[in-house]
Structure 1
Amino acid sequence: MDTVSFRFDAHGGFAEVMGLAKLDDLGLELQFSTRDAVFGVVKTGQRSLRVPLEVLMSVRYRAGFLWLMPVIELRVNDLKVLDGLPESEEGRVRMRIKWRDRQDARDFVKELEMLRSHVRIQQLDRSLDRLSSQLPPRSSEAAPLPPAPPLAVPPTAPAATTPQPRPSQSES
Protein backbone atom coordinates (compact mmCIF):
# COMPACT_ATOMS: atom_id res chain seq x y z
CA MET A 1 0.00 0.00 0.00
CA ASP A 2 1.59 3.27 -1.03
CA THR A 3 -1.06 5.75 0.17
CA VAL A 4 -2.95 6.12 3.43
CA SER A 5 -5.29 8.87 4.63
CA PHE A 6 -4.77 10.49 8.03
CA ARG A 7 -6.02 13.21 10.33
CA PHE A 8 -5.05 14.78 13.63
CA ASP A 9 -6.04 17.67 15.86
CA ALA A 10 -4.07 20.90 15.82
CA HIS A 11 -4.02 24.27 17.59
CA GLY A 12 -5.34 22.90 20.85
CA GLY A 13 -8.24 21.07 19.23
CA PHE A 14 -9.57 24.13 17.39
CA ALA A 15 -8.29 22.86 14.05
CA GLU A 16 -8.06 19.54 12.28
CA VAL A 17 -5.41 18.45 9.79
CA MET A 18 -6.55 15.98 7.13
CA GLY A 19 -4.49 14.53 4.34
CA LEU A 20 -2.76 11.71 2.53
CA ALA A 21 0.60 10.13 3.17
CA LYS A 22 2.12 8.94 -0.10
CA LEU A 23 5.16 6.75 -0.50
CA ASP A 24 7.43 6.84 -3.55
CA ASP A 25 11.09 6.27 -4.41
CA LEU A 26 12.11 9.74 -3.24
CA GLY A 27 10.60 9.35 0.21
CA LEU A 28 7.41 10.16 2.01
CA GLU A 29 5.11 12.93 0.88
CA LEU A 30 2.45 14.38 3.17
CA GLN A 31 -0.34 16.23 1.39
CA PHE A 32 -2.63 17.98 3.84
CA SER A 33 -4.99 20.83 4.54
CA THR A 34 -6.16 22.38 7.81
CA ARG A 35 -9.70 23.39 8.70
CA ASP A 36 -11.27 24.73 11.85
CA ALA A 37 -12.78 21.99 13.97
CA VAL A 38 -15.59 24.10 15.42
CA PHE A 39 -17.58 25.07 12.31
CA GLY A 40 -15.55 23.50 9.50
CA VAL A 41 -15.85 26.70 7.48
CA VAL A 42 -12.30 28.05 7.42
CA LYS A 43 -10.01 25.81 5.43
CA THR A 44 -6.44 26.29 4.25
CA GLY A 45 -5.27 25.40 0.78
CA GLN A 46 -3.71 22.09 -0.06
CA ARG A 47 -0.08 21.88 1.07
CA SER A 48 2.57 19.30 0.43
CA LEU A 49 5.57 18.32 2.51
CA ARG A 50 8.33 15.92 1.50
CA VAL A 51 10.09 13.83 4.15
CA PRO A 52 13.30 12.24 2.79
CA LEU A 53 13.92 8.69 3.99
CA GLU A 54 17.38 9.73 5.24
CA VAL A 55 15.91 11.94 7.98
CA LEU A 56 13.15 9.54 9.01
CA MET A 57 14.27 8.04 12.34
CA SER A 58 11.32 5.76 12.99
CA VAL A 59 7.85 4.94 11.82
CA ARG A 60 5.43 2.96 14.00
CA TYR A 61 1.92 1.66 13.77
CA ARG A 62 0.02 1.63 17.05
CA ALA A 63 -3.43 0.18 17.59
CA GLY A 64 -4.43 2.97 19.98
CA PHE A 65 -6.90 2.94 22.84
CA LEU A 66 -8.82 -0.36 22.90
CA TRP A 67 -7.56 -1.02 19.35
CA LEU A 68 -10.18 1.44 18.09
CA MET A 69 -7.97 4.44 17.29
CA PRO A 70 -5.01 3.35 15.15
CA VAL A 71 -2.12 5.76 14.82
CA ILE A 72 0.98 6.05 12.66
CA GLU A 73 3.79 7.84 14.44
CA LEU A 74 6.65 9.41 12.49
CA ARG A 75 9.90 10.69 14.03
CA VAL A 76 12.50 12.68 12.15
CA ASN A 77 15.98 13.89 13.09
CA ASP A 78 15.64 17.30 11.40
CA LEU A 79 12.93 19.73 12.55
CA LYS A 80 13.17 21.75 9.33
CA VAL A 81 11.68 18.84 7.39
CA LEU A 82 8.35 19.13 9.22
CA ASP A 83 8.27 22.92 9.09
CA GLY A 84 4.74 24.01 8.19
CA LEU A 85 3.03 20.92 9.58
CA PRO A 86 1.03 21.76 12.73
CA GLU A 87 1.71 19.84 15.96
CA SER A 88 5.19 18.71 14.92
CA GLU A 89 7.40 20.80 17.18
CA GLU A 90 9.38 17.89 18.61
CA GLY A 91 10.08 16.14 15.33
CA ARG A 92 7.20 13.76 15.92
CA VAL A 93 3.85 13.47 14.16
CA ARG A 94 0.99 11.25 15.32
CA MET A 95 -1.42 10.68 12.46
CA ARG A 96 -4.77 9.10 13.32
CA ILE A 97 -6.08 6.51 10.91
CA LYS A 98 -9.68 5.50 10.39
CA TRP A 99 -10.46 2.12 11.89
CA ARG A 100 -11.50 0.67 8.55
CA ASP A 101 -8.11 1.66 7.07
CA ARG A 102 -6.03 -0.01 9.79
CA GLN A 103 -4.80 -2.90 7.59
CA ASP A 104 -3.75 -0.45 4.87
CA ALA A 105 -1.91 1.55 7.53
CA ARG A 106 -0.05 -1.56 8.74
CA ASP A 107 0.98 -2.39 5.18
CA PHE A 108 2.04 1.22 4.60
CA VAL A 109 4.25 1.19 7.70
CA LYS A 110 5.85 -2.14 6.71
CA GLU A 111 6.65 -0.83 3.24
CA LEU A 112 8.00 2.45 4.62
CA GLU A 113 10.17 0.59 7.14
CA MET A 114 11.54 -1.62 4.38
CA LEU A 115 12.45 1.39 2.22
CA ARG A 116 13.95 3.18 5.22
CA SER A 117 16.09 0.12 6.02
CA HIS A 118 17.25 -0.09 2.42
CA VAL A 119 18.30 3.58 2.45
CA ARG A 120 20.10 3.09 5.77
CA ILE A 121 22.05 0.13 4.36
CA GLN A 122 23.08 2.24 1.37
CA GLN A 123 24.26 5.02 3.72
CA LEU A 124 26.32 2.52 5.72
CA ASP A 125 27.84 1.09 2.54
CA ARG A 126 28.89 4.58 1.41
CA SER A 127 30.39 5.30 4.84
CA LEU A 128 32.29 2.03 4.78
CA ASP A 129 33.63 2.74 1.29
CA ARG A 130 34.70 6.22 2.36
CA LEU A 131 36.47 4.88 5.46
CA SER A 132 38.18 2.06 3.59
CA SER A 133 39.51 4.52 0.99
CA GLN A 134 41.27 6.41 3.80
CA LEU A 135 43.21 3.32 4.94
CA PRO A 136 46.86 3.06 3.84
CA PRO A 137 47.34 0.67 0.91
CA ARG A 138 48.50 -2.84 1.67
CA SER A 139 51.96 -3.74 0.49
CA SER A 140 52.26 -6.97 -1.47
CA GLU A 141 55.70 -7.64 0.07
CA ALA A 142 54.70 -7.80 3.67
CA ALA A 143 57.25 -9.10 6.13
CA PRO A 144 56.80 -12.79 6.86
CA LEU A 145 55.38 -13.67 10.20
CA PRO A 146 57.86 -15.07 12.73
CA PRO A 147 57.54 -18.81 13.34
CA ALA A 148 55.27 -19.79 16.16
CA PRO A 149 57.06 -20.91 19.33
CA PRO A 150 56.92 -24.65 20.00
CA LEU A 151 54.18 -25.82 22.24
CA ALA A 152 55.27 -26.52 25.77
CA VAL A 153 54.82 -30.20 26.59
CA PRO A 154 53.84 -30.79 30.20
CA PRO A 155 56.25 -33.01 32.12
CA THR A 156 55.13 -36.59 32.38
CA ALA A 157 53.96 -37.71 35.77
CA PRO A 158 56.03 -40.41 37.52
CA ALA A 159 54.68 -43.89 37.16
CA ALA A 160 52.03 -44.54 39.70
CA THR A 161 52.92 -47.16 42.24
CA THR A 162 50.29 -49.53 43.40
CA PRO A 163 49.65 -49.16 47.09
CA GLN A 164 50.44 -52.15 49.31
CA PRO A 165 47.61 -53.35 51.50
CA ARG A 166 47.96 -52.46 55.13
CA PRO A 167 48.25 -55.21 57.61
CA SER A 168 45.04 -55.56 59.51
CA GLN A 169 44.89 -55.48 63.28
CA SER A 170 43.84 -59.09 63.49
CA GLU A 171 47.14 -60.25 61.89
CA SER A 172 49.26 -58.63 64.52
Structure 2
Amino acid sequence: MRAVLQRVSEASCRVNGDVTGEIDHGFLVLLGIEDADTEEDLHWLAQKITSMRVFGDDNGLMNKALADVDGSILLISQFTLFAQTRKGNRPSFIRAARPEKAIPLYEKMIVTLESLTGKKIATGIFGADMKISLVNDGPVTIIMDTKDRENH
Protein backbone atom coordinates (compact mmCIF):
# COMPACT_ATOMS: atom_id res chain seq x y z
CA MET A 1 0.00 0.00 0.00
CA ARG A 2 1.09 3.48 -0.74
CA ALA A 3 -0.23 6.64 0.85
CA VAL A 4 0.39 10.28 0.12
CA LEU A 5 -0.39 12.13 3.33
CA GLN A 6 -0.98 15.86 3.07
CA ARG A 7 -1.45 18.07 6.09
CA VAL A 8 -4.34 20.35 5.18
CA SER A 9 -6.24 23.26 6.65
CA GLU A 10 -9.21 22.10 4.54
CA ALA A 11 -9.98 19.50 1.87
CA SER A 12 -12.99 18.22 -0.01
CA CYS A 13 -14.02 15.74 -2.67
CA ARG A 14 -16.73 16.26 -5.26
CA VAL A 15 -18.25 13.72 -7.63
CA ASN A 16 -20.57 15.08 -10.33
CA GLY A 17 -20.67 18.39 -8.46
CA ASP A 18 -21.81 16.83 -5.17
CA VAL A 19 -19.59 16.90 -2.06
CA THR A 20 -18.88 13.31 -0.97
CA GLY A 21 -16.50 14.23 1.83
CA GLU A 22 -14.91 17.29 3.37
CA ILE A 23 -12.78 18.15 6.36
CA ASP A 24 -11.29 21.15 8.07
CA HIS A 25 -7.74 20.66 9.40
CA GLY A 26 -6.20 17.22 9.31
CA PHE A 27 -4.98 14.86 6.61
CA LEU A 28 -5.91 14.32 3.01
CA VAL A 29 -4.78 10.74 2.39
CA LEU A 30 -4.45 9.45 -1.16
CA LEU A 31 -4.37 5.64 -0.87
CA GLY A 32 -3.07 3.24 -3.49
CA ILE A 33 -3.65 -0.48 -3.04
CA GLU A 34 -1.43 -3.02 -4.76
CA ASP A 35 -2.23 -6.63 -5.58
CA ALA A 36 0.26 -7.95 -3.01
CA ASP A 37 -1.21 -5.93 -0.10
CA THR A 38 -2.63 -7.62 2.98
CA GLU A 39 -4.62 -6.64 6.07
CA GLU A 40 -1.29 -6.59 7.93
CA ASP A 41 -0.13 -3.83 5.55
CA LEU A 42 -3.41 -2.00 6.12
CA HIS A 43 -3.12 -2.05 9.92
CA TRP A 44 0.52 -0.93 9.85
CA LEU A 45 -0.27 1.96 7.51
CA ALA A 46 -3.38 3.06 9.43
CA GLN A 47 -1.35 3.16 12.65
CA LYS A 48 1.41 5.18 10.95
CA ILE A 49 -1.09 7.67 9.50
CA THR A 50 -2.82 8.31 12.81
CA SER A 51 0.48 8.49 14.75
CA MET A 52 2.40 10.74 12.34
CA ARG A 53 3.58 13.79 14.28
CA VAL A 54 3.53 16.60 11.72
CA PHE A 55 1.31 19.19 13.39
CA GLY A 56 2.87 22.20 15.09
CA ASP A 57 3.24 22.49 18.83
CA ASP A 58 3.39 25.77 20.79
CA ASN A 59 6.96 26.28 19.55
CA GLY A 60 6.06 25.68 15.91
CA LEU A 61 7.78 22.30 15.85
CA MET A 62 6.13 19.28 14.25
CA ASN A 63 5.47 17.33 17.46
CA LYS A 64 1.72 16.72 17.45
CA ALA A 65 -0.28 13.88 15.94
CA LEU A 66 -3.77 14.02 14.45
CA ALA A 67 -5.53 13.34 17.77
CA ASP A 68 -3.52 16.07 19.51
CA VAL A 69 -5.02 18.71 17.19
CA ASP A 70 -8.49 17.11 16.88
CA GLY A 71 -7.83 16.64 13.16
CA SER A 72 -9.87 14.72 10.62
CA ILE A 73 -9.09 12.52 7.61
CA LEU A 74 -10.32 12.67 4.02
CA LEU A 75 -9.43 9.29 2.46
CA ILE A 76 -9.31 9.04 -1.34
CA SER A 77 -8.61 5.85 -3.30
CA GLN A 78 -5.97 6.43 -5.99
CA PHE A 79 -4.72 3.49 -8.01
CA THR A 80 -2.45 5.82 -10.02
CA LEU A 81 -0.02 5.85 -7.09
CA PHE A 82 1.23 2.54 -8.52
CA ALA A 83 1.93 3.91 -12.00
CA GLN A 84 4.99 2.38 -13.62
CA THR A 85 6.71 4.91 -15.85
CA ARG A 86 9.98 3.26 -16.85
CA LYS A 87 8.97 2.50 -20.43
CA GLY A 88 7.32 4.88 -22.83
CA ASN A 89 5.11 7.82 -21.98
CA ARG A 90 1.93 6.01 -21.05
CA PRO A 91 1.97 4.74 -17.46
CA SER A 92 1.18 1.13 -16.67
CA PHE A 93 -0.99 0.32 -13.67
CA ILE A 94 -0.38 -3.44 -13.65
CA ARG A 95 0.68 -3.41 -9.96
CA ALA A 96 -2.51 -1.71 -8.78
CA ALA A 97 -5.03 -4.09 -7.24
CA ARG A 98 -8.16 -4.89 -9.22
CA PRO A 99 -11.40 -3.52 -7.71
CA GLU A 100 -12.46 -6.92 -6.33
CA LYS A 101 -9.36 -6.86 -4.09
CA ALA A 102 -8.95 -3.10 -3.63
CA ILE A 103 -12.52 -2.20 -2.62
CA PRO A 104 -12.67 -4.49 0.44
CA LEU A 105 -9.24 -3.25 1.61
CA TYR A 106 -10.25 0.39 1.06
CA GLU A 107 -13.45 -0.16 3.04
CA LYS A 108 -11.47 -1.91 5.79
CA MET A 109 -9.08 1.06 5.89
CA ILE A 110 -12.04 3.38 6.50
CA VAL A 111 -13.25 1.23 9.41
CA THR A 112 -9.73 0.89 10.83
CA LEU A 113 -9.05 4.63 10.68
CA GLU A 114 -12.43 5.34 12.29
CA SER A 115 -11.56 2.93 15.08
CA LEU A 116 -8.13 4.51 15.63
CA THR A 117 -9.36 8.13 15.50
CA GLY A 118 -12.81 7.77 17.02
CA LYS A 119 -14.08 9.95 14.18
CA LYS A 120 -15.99 9.40 10.96
CA ILE A 121 -13.63 9.30 7.99
CA ALA A 122 -14.61 11.51 5.05
CA THR A 123 -14.21 9.77 1.69
CA GLY A 124 -14.53 10.00 -2.02
CA ILE A 125 -16.22 7.31 -4.11
CA PHE A 126 -14.04 4.38 -5.15
CA GLY A 127 -13.44 4.40 -8.91
CA ALA A 128 -15.33 7.64 -9.54
CA ASP A 129 -14.03 10.71 -11.36
CA MET A 130 -13.32 12.78 -8.27
CA LYS A 131 -12.42 16.46 -8.00
CA ILE A 132 -10.25 17.05 -4.95
CA SER A 133 -9.76 20.52 -3.47
CA LEU A 134 -7.29 21.16 -0.71
CA VAL A 135 -5.22 23.75 1.05
CA ASN A 136 -1.92 22.02 1.86
CA ASP A 137 -0.78 23.43 5.20
CA GLY A 138 2.96 24.02 5.26
CA PRO A 139 3.16 22.49 2.71
CA VAL A 140 3.60 19.16 4.44
CA THR A 141 3.41 16.08 2.21
CA ILE A 142 4.61 12.65 3.33
CA ILE A 143 4.81 9.54 1.13
CA MET A 144 4.49 6.18 2.88
CA ASP A 145 4.79 2.70 1.42
CA THR A 146 4.20 -0.50 3.36
CA LYS A 147 7.06 -2.10 1.41
CA ASP A 148 9.44 0.25 3.24
CA ARG A 149 8.69 -1.09 6.72
CA GLU A 150 11.08 -3.42 8.49
CA ASN A 151 10.54 -7.19 8.45
CA HIS A 152 8.11 -7.04 5.56
TM-score (norm 1): 0.28
State the structure with more CA Rg.
1
TM-score by length of 2: 0.30
Greater strand fraction, Structure 1 or Structure 2: 2
Larger relative contact order, structure 1 or 2 (CA cutoff 8 Å, min sep 6): 2
